[in-house]
Structure 1
Amino acid sequence: MTIDIDTLAKEALELLKELISIPSLSEEEDKTADAIAKWLSGFGVVVQRQYNNIYAFNKHYNKSKPNLLLNSHHDTVKPNSAYTKDPFNPHIENGKLYGLGSNDAGGALCSLLATFVHFYEREDLSHNIIMAATAEEEDAGEKSLSALLPILPKIDVAIVGEPTEMQLAIAEKGLIVYDGKVLGTPSHAAHPNDDSAIYKTAEVLQWFENYEFEKVSEVLGPVKITVTQISAGSQHNVVPAHVDLVIDTRVNDCYTNKEIDEILQKETPCQLIPRSLNKDSSSIAIEHPLVQSGIALGRKTYGSPTLSDQAKLSCQSLKLGPGYSPRSHSADEFIYVDEVIEGVGLYINILEGFFKS
């Protein structure tokens, strides 16, 4: 069954509208999983399912060939209070398709699904293609891509669909979230206290603001540390025993998360407990044929500061998709219709070049 690219792009757009209309908050994606499975089945694709992860292999899968993974997610964050439009009402205004998840990452997901359908029956591919529309990306849940990977064959290279304006994100910063604690001496507010946790916190915050890691990445720039939450105290007349901090640490490709943790545990003037050390930075060599195919089509390379399911992959991976990252998680989220249409064509053309390399 041969379907022209323009028709596939239109079908992708219709699927995106359908997905927007179905609430799919993380861990509540069963209905969008149903819709994706039905859409793929309509093109004759043999669909498999694990939890709310929908996946499929190209028709002429060959165990002797390396495996290319196409992955994006169909869960969303909760709509924020600043929305002025119904987040679940997909509608087009001035070329913009509005709706929760349209930009992050529905446009990329539906474009990848259309791309997979385009190549599904091809027998001349250098790689097998595995399509994975996965759940629980936004909250890094246990039934996300991380649950699916152990039952898939070894992945040799991957495209992770996220909004990059169809530019080539060849590296992505890793993430460590720390729970910090500044300790002091509790006391009655009426009495002297030269060991106040609150006053000591001012120095700790200044330390985080000024601290710089030695290694700066050519692609991802410096490691970035940001204190994002602070809390302390229970009543007006009590100096608390400690101040709690949350520290967001974005790690470049010059360090592993373990190395960053070892440095901070030695240097930081407060207690630190990492929530996880398994979200390392990701990258793909600029010389990789997948990247070179995109460059040949006029696409530019850059380093992405945001985290995605790339962090769960141990292979080289490229983040690539229609849409604009700053729109993600914003009020009245949207994606341009033309971005979706263009995304399908560019994905297909990049893979065509890759398979011929």
Structure 2
Amino acid sequence: MSIHPYIEQAIELLKAMISIPSFSRQEGDVAAMFEDFLKSTGINYYQRKGNNIWIRSKNFSDQLPVVLLNSHIDTVRPSSNWSKDPFSPYEEDGKIFGLGSNDAGASVVALLTVFRLLEEMQQPFNLIYSATAEEEISGDEGVASILEEIGPIDLGIVGEPTQMQMAVAEKGLMVIDGIVKGVSGHAARKEGVNAIYKALPIIEWFKNYRFPLVSDLLGPVKMTVTGIEAGTQHNVIPDECRFMVDVRVNEHYQNKELFHLISQNVNCELKARSFRLNSSFIPTDHPLVKRGETLGLRKFGSPTTSDQARMPFTTIKIGPGDSARSHTADEFICVQEIIEGVNTYYNLLKDLYIYPV
């Protein structure tokens, strides 16, 4: 069965990406290769900042809404359990094996293919494509570093492996560090104030408290104490107990708001490491979601974070591949998944009116 030449080129591009290590903050070589590929296809009107590359469609109009197609070129480091060379793309039985093939190389090349196809015809929206860095570490030199230069965005499509189903909501992440103060003393005498004992009811609160707003898609806010540290030696009452909390936030709360609510309930020193990874949500009556439903796509809420968390505009997460394969040994993507991904993206976007014009 013949496939479109753009898809054939996309598959070769994916293999080239796999062959170049591109760990977070070390994406320079793969970004340079990506530039060479764009030039070879006649796309010499791209822009680059750091290890991020973006392209505005040639028929860009200030009178139309803007759709951003985004995915990431960085990968995690391979585990020691790979049975194949993670940097040697290996194709067998319709599968392409290699680090980053599923997360998120397939989305990178599928979205670029759709950009190229849709750019050839007038659409009721502008298109911008971006292949960006540092997604795996939520870094500041990734997509967040180019949004101001890209300009206003009306809709973002974030390519991540979702089996081409629609993640219409995504949990945010906030990590909180807490410190409970006590008074040191000798453990053999009734001296001091044990910071561990003072911390117990606070930790119990994080375990049991339930915020009132529960998401139909993402469920409740989930707080988990994931670390605790106290004490220096067996005969000294600890005067300090430190703990950390992993907070997964549904779309009903913003991180700063939630931190304020937690602080009102907890009597100790708290500090959020960052407020930047907020939850994401697209209204279920959005034209893109409605179009997806007519195509038979399923809506779901995603528990994992992505570059959506860095985008202060309406976004949806959808892409070829399976999230269960991400960060695993012998990661792979099926060629058919790439083909179906391109077709689904195309059918979602072609002639889509984001809002009346």
**TM beyond 0.5:** yes
**Distance (Å, rounded) in 2 between the aligned partners of 1:107 and 1:141:** 21
Which aligned pairs between 1:153-232 and structure 2 lie closer than 5 A?
A: 153-192=151-190, 195-232=193-230
* Secondary structure of the structure 1 residue equivalent to 2:137: coil
**Distance (Å, rounded) in 2 between the aligned partners of 1:104 and 1:240:** 45
CA pair 298-231 structure 1, distance change in 2 beyond 3 A? same
Which aligned pairs between 1:90-101 and structure 2 lie closer than 5 A?
A: 90-101=89-100
Which residue matches 1:104?
A: 103
Q: CA RMSD in A?
A: 2.2
Which residue matches 1:320?
A: 318
Which residue matches 1:144?
A: 142
CA pair 325-200 structure 1, distance change in 2 beyond 3 A? farther
Task: Report the count of equivalent residues.
Answer: 353
Which residue matches 1:47?
A: 46
**Distance (Å, rounded) in 1 between the aligned partners of 2:239 and 2:101:** 46
Which aligned pairs between 1:200-349 and structure 2 lie closer than 5 A?
A: 200-349=198-347
CA pair 341-189 structure 1, distance change in 2 beyond 3 A? farther
Identity of aligned residues (%): 47
Residues 228-257 of structure 1 deviation map (CA, whole Å, 9 limit, x = unaligned): 233334445544332322211111111122
Which residue matches 2:17?
A: 19
**Could you list the runs of 5+ residues in structure 2 that have no partner in the other structure?**
none
CA pair 8-356 structure 1, distance change in 2 beyond 3 A? farther
The letter for the 2-side match of 1:36 is F
**Could you list the runs of 5+ residues in structure 1 that have no partner in the other structure?**
none
Residues 309-349 of structure 1 deviation map (CA, whole Å, 9 limit, x = unaligned): 11222221111101112322233322223222211111111
CA pair 236-65 structure 1, distance change in 2 beyond 3 A? same
Q: State the 1:190 CA deviation.
A: 4.5
Q: State the 1:107 CA deviation.
A: 1.2
Contact preservation (8 Å) 1:293, 1:353: no
After superposing the two structures, state which structure 1 stretch, 73-82 or 128-137, moved more: 73-82
Contact preservation (8 Å) 2:288, 2:354: no
- TM-score calculated relative to the size of structure 2: 0.91
**Distance (Å, rounded) in 1 between the aligned partners of 2:327 and 2:235:** 39
Contact preservation (8 Å) 1:5, 1:344: no
Residues 157-195 of structure 1 deviation map (CA, whole Å, 9 limit, x = unaligned): 110111111001111112211112233333445545673
CA pair 18-296 structure 1, distance change in 2 beyond 3 A? same
**Distance (Å, rounded) in 2 between the aligned partners of 1:190 and 1:32:** 62
* Secondary structure of the structure 2 residue equivalent to 1:246: strand
**Distance (Å, rounded) in 1 between the aligned partners of 2:134 and 2:330:** 22
Which residue matches 1:69?
A: 68
**Distance (Å, rounded) in 1 between the aligned partners of 2:308 and 2:189:** 53
